[in-house]
Amino acid sequence: MARKVNKQEVIVTGFGGQGIVLAGKILGMAAALGDHRESTLVQSYGPESRGGACCAQVIISEKTIQYPYVKMADVLVCMSQSAYEKYKSQIKPEGYLITDRDLVNPDGQREVFDIPATRMAEELGRSMMANIIMIGFVTAITALISEKAAREAVKSSVPKGTEEMNLKAFTRGFEYGQSKLKGREKKAAGQTGAIA
């Protein structure tokens, strides 16, 4: 499923308080420090930070990045319905749409990779870790960044003393993404077999 391209543009969006900017920072850090690529991060908030619209734009590239704003996203990660409505037109036709299953109800216009990130975080005892679960999921589904680089970026970005808990959250998201990809591969193989 992973595509190796020179430049990938990513939008991570949701509402303030979900750790959207931290998720963007982790993606960019993993790409730059772990995978030795170029990356930029641009963040924006609505008028009120907690509960308002929030967006992190990340560009990851093999070459110097001339313009830090996302024109059309290769990956759109939505963690709220309003964020999805606002940014759904900014994803490339072949791009990945990734959502929090319980918080976003897409319009069915394209393939969606979804994960109940907030519910999984609550099961781990910390709803604030939904963003880290989402980073694990995004890493598995898109291969934007390597798993090793992502783990290092998570470890160095979260508050001291919470590293193990956050790495556990990352692993939950990553493993969920891997199983989702395997399920799709089996389904595709089954359909191919039925036609033959």
The answer to which of 115-129, 141-155, 181-195 has the lowest mean pLDDT is: 181-195
* Beta strands 38-45 and 7-15, pairing class: unpaired
Question: Nearest 5 degrees, angle CA 50-CA 116-CA 14?
Answer: 25
Cα 137 to Cα 182: distance, rounded to the nearest angstrom: 13
pLDDT at residue 3 in the model: 45
- CATH for 7-189, options being 3.40.920.10, 3.90.1150.10, 2.10.240.10, 1.10.10.10: 3.40.920.10
Name the residue among 125, 111, 118 with its Cα closest to residue 187.
111
Rg of the chain taking only CA atoms, in angstroms: 16
pLDDT at residue 52 in the model: 73
Helix axes 130-142, 20-29, angle to 10 degrees: 40
Query: Is 148 a residue whose pLDDT tops 80?
Result: yes
Distances in whole angstroms, Cα of residue 143 to Cα of each of 18, 30, 73, 80: 23, 12, 15, 23
Query: Is 193 a residue whose pLDDT tops 90?
Result: no
What average pLDDT does range 92-98 have in this prediction? 96
- Output the six-digit token pair for 102: 């319980």
Cα 69 to Cα 52: distance, rounded to the nearest angstrom: 20
Cα 72 to Cα 9: distance, rounded to the nearest angstrom: 7
What average pLDDT does range 187-194 have in this prediction? 68
For 67-93, how does the pLDDT look when each residue is reduced to its tens digit (9 = 90+)?
Answer: 999 999 999 999 999 999 999 999 999
Check: CB of residue 54 under 8 Å from CB of residue 15: yes
pLDDT at residue 47 in the model: 59
Confidence band, pLDDT 50/70/90 cuts, at residue 2: very low
Question: 97 φ, ψ to 5°?
Answer: -105, 120
Domain boundaries, the chain: 7-189
Cα 84 to Cα 99: distance, rounded to the nearest angstrom: 8
What average pLDDT does range 134-141 have in this prediction? 98
Mean model confidence pLDDT for the chain: 91
For 13-49, how does the pLDDT look when each residue is reduced to its tens digit (9 = 90+)?
Answer: 999 889 999 999 999 999 999 999 999 999 987 654 5
| H helix runs in 42-159, sequence order | 81-87, 117-123, 130-142, 147-157
What pTM was computed for the model? 0.91
Q: How many C-beta atoms surround the C-beta of residue 18 within 10 A?
A: 26
